[in-house]
Structure 1
């Protein structure tokens, strides 16, 4: 499943790169340190802005400023993960209403009903587009990871 996740991420990046190849798109690699600590020296950007689109890297249920997952199972992890996404959006003057697409990875698809109940409480209709899949192992042993795409309006 890690290979599938990597392939999907690479395909998305290649497709996006192809769309902007030869164009005058403005690309910014952003790291506010608002969730993952800058001192952690992570091998990815917190978010990447391409013109009016913000691509947020997959978020886990870490307590902001640390690499420690919150305790409390899928409920606590889903809530913290979504709050981390809100924090990143806010750092760029965006809200959950700006989110147009999310990709959800669950370590156990049996957690889907609880995840979905909490996830939907962070949005109002119309909901963003979404994909979800089960993964065999997430970073830091997390139960959930969510990445989002938001648009500046």
Structure 2
């Protein structure tokens, strides 16, 4: 039986909370990103303006971590979005489609009671590494 690897991914190009988790783990060509909120990577304070700018910043973190993991947004297979208020869904969706304009990943979006730093939105993704071909079965 061959040994599987579990690679810890860390980048200074995205927020790095001093908490007991890693930005991402690569295991068997899958990248598992921890949840990202819309905070400034240097101050660890939420960007001002609410759910939309927070989502834009969180997606910047997602992109940076995926690159550090040898992946990219085009290789995301599953996204989970957590919203403090489902009333922000449509506006957050507009930021989401700027990053995922076609061949959308599978996705779940849920409203939650509270998020880290009292954020309005958090996103986590699962992606692939290596050569990936996208096919559509319509």
CA displacement at 1:71 relative to structure 2: 0.4
Alignment of structure 1 residues 3-152 onto 2, 5 Å = 24-37=3-16, 40-152=17-129
Q: Is contact 2:24–2:34 with CA below 8 Å preserved after alignment?
A: yes
Q: Which runs of 5+ in 1 are unaligned?
A: 1-21
CA displacement at 1:23 relative to structure 2: 6.7
SS at match of 1:66: coil
CA displacement at 1:29 relative to structure 2: 2.2
> 1:14-64 deviations in whole A, cap 9, x for unaligned?
xxxxxxxx8732112222233224xx5311011011020110000000112
Q: Is contact 1:27–1:49 with CA below 8 Å preserved after alignment?
A: yes
Q: Which runs of 5+ in 2 are unaligned?
A: 131-138
Equivalent residue, structure 2, for 1:14: none
Structure 1 CA distance, aligned partners of 2:98 and 2:57? 13
Q: Is contact 1:35–1:66 with CA below 8 Å preserved after alignment?
A: no
SS at match of 2:99: coil
Task: Name the TM-score, length of structure 2 as normaliser.
Answer: 0.87
Number of aligned positions between the proteins:
130
Q: Is contact 1:98–1:150 with CA below 8 Å preserved after alignment?
A: yes
Structure 2 CA distance, aligned partners of 1:152 and 1:31? 16
Equivalent residue, structure 2, for 1:6: none
User: Which of structure 1's runs of 4+ aligned residues deviate more than 6 A?
Assistant: none
